Amino acid sequence: MVADVIPEIVLVVGSVVVLLYALAAPRRLQAGAALLALATAALATVATLAMLGGPEYLTFADTYARDGTAVWGKLIVLAGTVGAIGLSVPWFESDHRHGEYYALLLLSALGAVFLAGATDLKQFVMAMMLSSATGFVLAAYHRRSSPASEAAIKYYLVGAFTSASMLIGVAYLFGLAGSTTLSGLTRGLPTGGLALATGAALVILAVTFKIGALPAHAWVPDVAQGAPAPVAAFVTSIPKVGGLIFLARLVLALPTESVEWRPLVAVLAAATMTLGNLAALWQNDVRRLLGWSAVSQIGYGLMAVVALERSALAVPSLLFFLLAYVVGNVAAFGVVVELRGRTALGEFTGLARARAWLAGALAVSFLSFIGVPPLVGFVAKLLLFGATIEAGYTWLAALAVVNTVVSIFYYARVLGPVYFGPLAGPVPVLGRWAAVATLACAAALVLVGIVAEPFYLAFTRAGLLGG
Amino acid sequence: MAFAFVPRSVSGALASADDAPAAPPEGHVRATERRLQAAATAVAAVPLVLLVVAWLRFQGTGAFELVEAVAWIPTLGVGYRVGVDGLSLPLAAMTALIFVVSIAYPVDLRGRPLPYFALMLFLEGVSLGLFLALDLFLFFVFWDVSLVGMYFLIGAWGHGDAQRSALKFFIYTFAGSLPLLLAILGLYLAADPRTFDLADLGRQQPLAGGGLYATLVFLGFFIGFAVKTPLVPFHTWLPPAHVDAPAPASAVLAGVLLKMGTYGFVRVMLTLMPDTFARFAFPLALLAVVAIVYGALVALAQSNLKRLIAYTSVNHMGYVILGVAAAGAGFGSAEARAIALVGATTEMVAHGLITGALFLISGSMLLRGGTYELDAYGGLAARARFLTGLTVVAAFASLGLPGLAGFVAEFQVFAGTLSVYPWLAGVSLLGIVVTAALFLRMLQKLFLGPLPERWKAFPDLGPAEIGALGALLVLVIAIGVAPAWLLNMIDSFAGPLVGRP
């Protein structure tokens, strides 16, 4: 049983070690915390890799899943976390006491990992709290920066409201089913009634906060713009892995005949992708643009949830989407980090002439978001469209197509000046760590897209336990 | 902005700081550019040589030949499958030739030769891949990537409002590619077992039953290919993209990229869903006739050389679609439909060669005269013999003069269509008349009349330009005079496809 949660234990122990190190180490050695955090993430990755292809079952009295989807979700979280640590090292170098930052980062990743495996409402609440509370602190890490404080307050407020709804919703479902495990909900929930609909809606609302989907999406653009750039890369992507996987497990536990979750999620997907896109259109702040694009991306991801149980492509499309989304997001924010946080659209003009590799990474991540082959984003979109069509939601696929066309416009608003404009002045960059992390992510977007077979094969075999 | 039209040799002194920060001597830059150009041309010629070898080894069995297949994503039924038949081999060979010629052609490189040649070679690989792909997934990969390559070529080396034209091109054609993707998915989901293999899908005919689902898939394919072709009313991206692109990119865009659309009509729609195609053949033919007449009339009204050529492309692609529609109509003699399909395919090749040459010529005009406006020129026949001679050949080939490639193609399209849709064939003959008028007007404005004072020193074409245009136009004449070698090749696929005994 304990063997099922070795990666989680590694993360807990690692974050405590990092914290103790940060407390004890002198200022000049604070960066050592980053190395410890990297080692922790690497160790957790190794422990997770060992679970690949293993047996799939529920553990800890049906409260935690050890299935292919959870394992892959963890791997995506850990990969994204390694990328975020790489971005953070040069960014926080000037901060004298930044060691405990890495402890928070690991704990936040742990929250996402827990979410990916949660098959119990209490477990879900715990994971949400861990992931959210650390996220608030991370977003506000630059205490003296007013945009960061504002972003964190907004993030916190939206989070507080949805936490309340989550707790009430969980109480409803527990009261109706007499159990908090998802398998208990499947057995115990009544087949109808206002209480069931209310409880389910309140819990789903809390998940939309975590994944940044409508109607609790409002924090995403603010955090993307105001939080420290490496934190923005982390918070706008990694917790969503856990959130989306938990949503998939939750809806499967609900009685389909009374809770019309499929149309509900479809409408959420449609509204999220459309609003995110429209809002991104005229942003002149690249980080805010990335934030809105992150909102619209989650709308595409929700299409996989709609297709659950109706298409064999649903789970693979969900995992491919999460992989493409996290890696692409870290790469895009990585470019901003490496450019010392320059974020005004006008300052990106002519970038390709001075920093061809960074411009290339930005182009690759944007083209992957758009879904241009052979990048990972294309495989993800292909599978998402296929799953949605097979599930009988052709209108949603068609809407996603329209949205994709719209999205080209704002991505091109950045890429056009980057490649076609004249260079205005020197382009200082941050350092090797962030560059390596960014370019590695961009390279992964290309490579995983081309060598998609092993991933697709593994994703099709990944089970999704829950209800 | 005014200097944007001045050739680099002239504007070198005016070049802004960001163009050449270290400002090496002009001659040195030119030498480097020339070396790069020679190297890129040599690389571009390799596929051409290989395709000639493939042509010599081609048997003409009617099936895919010289097939190479490697598993790519086998779980999804995706493979790296390539091969040729009588449709793809001529188009691929034409593509390789146009790229060699376009890469060798002189152009204002804006001080950034390396990415320019890299992008051109990249586009050559992608375009060849598209015509040689025997897997719909692979086909779509090349399809989409070609848009990205062309976007950067137009945006970075174009002139006028290049960024805007590049964006319009990208958004418009990408918007077309997404219905195509949905249609490919629809076909894939309907197949059993699921596969993207073109040969396998051809055997399976997964949507032979018809119905709403088949119609939607057909519609998706139609939008995707019609935007690329471009068929009226999906053509509005084309004029700005063509006018603002650098001339070699225009040649590639018109010569090669437009063929991707018409190729899709035949390779995917006609081959994989012939029943649905037959149901929609008449509206398609009607649309083709509209494109023919509309394209010719709008071209007639242009005062800008490049825009004029761009609109004649709309007209010529109309002939192709008319031929394809007649071939897929499902009635009429198989003999006539085979002729229409052979004509349509020949038109694809002929248009590539002819319009490629015309766009390259427009680039030479821009380098020398700094504008595309027809009214700015005149009397050049006296100054520039090679330019005049080659332009006349290209223009006459484009308007369909017998003895040149365009005539061979259009004659067969009309001959084939006449027995299927006689009225439509009659109306579309109007397009030929208008095209003849507009090309004669163009030749008159450029080359006849008195030579304006400022063109007294108008330089004639250089050896590289003469060689490049010569290579294209010699083929145009060869196809016009002795077309059998090409027609037999195309017929080896067209005959079996329409079920001719």
**Beta-carbon contacts of residue B49 (< 8 Å; ≥ 6 apart):** none
**Beta-carbon contacts of residue A352 (< 8 Å; ≥ 6 apart):** A359, A360, A418, A419
Question: ipTM for the complex?
Answer: 0.89
Give dist(CA A276, CA B302) in Å, integer: 42
Q: Which two tokens stand for residue A235?
A: 């918070």
- Beta pairing partners, B82: B68, B133
pLDDT at residue A342 in the model: 86
Q: CA nearest B268: which of B320, B222, B208?
A: B222
Give dist(CA A3, CA B296) in Å, integer: 75
Least confident of B16-30, B130-144, B210-224: B16-30
Q: Which of A317, A382, A402, A448 is the best substitution to test chain B (most B C-beta atoms within 10 A)?
A: A382
Of B18, B186, B188, Cβ closest to residue A423: B18
Q: pTM here?
A: 0.91
Q: CA nearest A108: which of A243, A246, A234?
A: A234
Instruction: Collect all residues of chain A within an 8 Å Cβ-Cβ radius of residue B71.
Output: 453
Give dist(CA A61, CA A250) in Å, integer: 17
Instruction: Collect all residues of chain A within an 8 Å Cβ-Cβ radius of residue B144.
Output: 372-373, 378
pLDDT at residue B11 in the model: 39
Contact at CB, B182 and A401, closer than 8 angstroms: yes
Pair A64, A120: CB distance under 8 Å = yes
Range list of H helices, A227-260: 229-235, 238-253
* Average pLDDT score over residue span A99-109: 93
Give dist(CA A234, CA A77) in Å, integer: 10
Instruction: Tell me the pLDDT tens digit for each residue of A10-45.
Output: 999 999 999 999 999 888 888 889 999 999 999 999
Pair A437, A83: CB distance under 8 Å = yes
pLDDT at residue A467 in the model: 65
Instruction: Tell me the pLDDT tens digit for each residue of B431-450.
Output: 999 999 999 999 999 999 88
pLDDT at B362 over 90: yes
Instruction: Tell me the pLDDT tens digit for each residue of A155-180.
Output: 999 999 999 999 999 999 999 999 99
Pair A297, A325: CB distance under 8 Å = yes
Q: What do you get for the CA distance between the two ends of chain B, in Å?
A: 61
* Average pLDDT score over residue span B69-84: 92
Phi-psi category of A175—alpha, beta or left, where left has phi over 0 and alpha has psi -120 to 50?
alpha
Confidence of residue A398 (pLDDT cuts 50, 70, 90): very high
The alpha-carbon gap from B246 to the nearest alpha carbon of chain A, in Å, equals 14
Instruction: Collect all residues of chain A within an 8 Å Cβ-Cβ radius of residue B167.
Output: 409, 412, 416
Instruction: Tell me the pLDDT tens digit for each residue of B166-186.
Output: 999 999 999 999 999 999 999
Burial class (CB in 10 A: 0-12, 13-18, 19+), B192: exposed
Q: Which of B3, B70, B75, B215 is the best substitution to test chain A (most A C-beta atoms within 10 A)?
A: B75
Give dist(CA A289, CA A292) in Å, integer: 5
Q: How many CB pairs under 8 A join A and B?
A: 79
pLDDT at residue A12 in the model: 95
Give dist(CA A386, CA A401) in Å, integer: 12
Chain mean position to CA A304: 15
pLDDT at B23 over 70: no
Q: Which two tokens stand for residue A299?
A: 């709308």
Contact at CB, B174 and A390, closer than 8 angstroms: no
The alpha-carbon gap from A108 to the nearest alpha carbon of chain B, in Å, equals 35
Contact at CB, B16 and A389, closer than 8 angstroms: no
Mean pLDDT over the full length of chain B: 90
pLDDT at residue B26 in the model: 66
* Average pLDDT score over residue span A365-385: 93
- A65, A327, B28, B197 from B205: Cα distances, Å: 43, 39, 59, 12
pLDDT at residue A122 in the model: 94
Confidence of residue A252 (pLDDT cuts 50, 70, 90): very high
Q: CA nearest A276: which of A365, A400, A395, A397?
A: A400
Q: Chain B neighbours among A 398-457 (CB < 8 Å)?
A: 398, 401, 404-405, 408-409, 412, 416, 419-420, 422-423, 452-453, 456-457
Contact at CB, A373 and B148, closer than 8 angstroms: no
Q: Which two tokens stand for residue A238?
A: 């990694």
User: Taking an 8 Å Cβ-Cβ cutoff, which residues of chain B contact chain A?
Assistant: 16, 18, 71-76, 140-141, 144-145, 147-148, 152, 155-156, 162-163, 166-167, 170-171, 174-175, 178-179, 181-182, 185-186, 188-189, 216
* Average pLDDT score over residue span A344-368: 91
Q: For chain A, give the percent of residues with pLDDT over 90.
A: 77
A281–B contact, CB cutoff 8 A = no
**Beta-carbon contacts of residue A438 (< 8 Å; ≥ 6 apart):** A87, A330, A331, A334, A335, A337, A338, A358, A361
